[in-house]
Amino acid sequence: MNLSGKIVILTGVSKGIGHATARALLAKGAVVAGWGRTAPADLQHERFQFIECDIRNEVAVQEAYVNTRREVGEEIHVLINNAGVGIMGPVDGFAADDWHTIFDTNVHGTFYCCRAVLPQMKRQGQGHIINVASLAGTMGTENMAGYCATKFAVRGFSEALFKEVRQDGIKVTCVNPGSVETNFNGATPGAEPNPHKLRAEDVAATIIHALESPDGVLVSEVDVRPLRPKK
């Protein structure tokens, strides 16, 4: 897909992978509707429109979708489900509210957003959905049961969805990053890049690569790892 002039909905735009992806999309000429609870303070561009949305809320997603089409255009060419939260801890000490929060964001929010855009993408006969999962969705890790469970769910959802809509001309790609140096889970990136972690810009570049694949090519899933992880 040539991204110039294409309309992209991007969730979790305020920081980290979402923020880096928004910048990469704008550099390619795309029109970006950034959905989030907080607007990015340092992202001002004539082709960027912030749309307030808490993806955990089904009604809020529906309202954001209507507002997006009103503000930036009727057609929706790309949806990037990037918004996510990580809450860690042992299962026997894990709060039920925290469990619900990570599922509401990582799994239910992804479903709400996909369901919102699919009718229009089917009418267009084209579209591309990117779901950002994690390598934590490929193997279980102690003290990360809740987070791993959500990312396993996103991967399964993505695989089922790509098989469901590929004949409609809609692509679905699941991106599984490894350790990324972002504000995720309360962490603060260092002043110098960590050579043992991915940068948000690395994941953004992978997303752009998948989006720019030829029309007849589907990149269904991609793992993204740091070359030299910390031992």
Which parts of the chain fold into alpha helices (H)? 16-27, 58-72, 96-103, 109-124, 145-165, 200-211
Nearest to 219 by CA among 135, 139, 130: 130
Task: Report how far residue 96's alpha carbon sits from residue 33's, in angstroms, rounded to the nearest whole number.
Answer: 33
Task: Report how far residue 46's alpha carbon sits from residue 122's, in angstroms, rounded to the nearest whole number.
Answer: 28
Strands 127-132 and 78-81: parallel
Q: Active-site residues: which are they?
A: 147
Q: Are the C-beta atoms of residues 131 and 187 closer than 8 Å to each other?
A: no
Task: Report how far residue 29's alpha carbon sits from residue 45's, in angstroms, rounded to the nearest whole number.
Answer: 11
* Other C-beta atoms lying within 10 Å of the C-beta of residue 71: 12
Nearest to 221 by CA among 164, 165, 173: 173
Nearest to 175 by CA among 224, 227, 125: 224
Q: Are the C-beta atoms of residues 139 and 225 closer than 8 Å to each other?
A: no
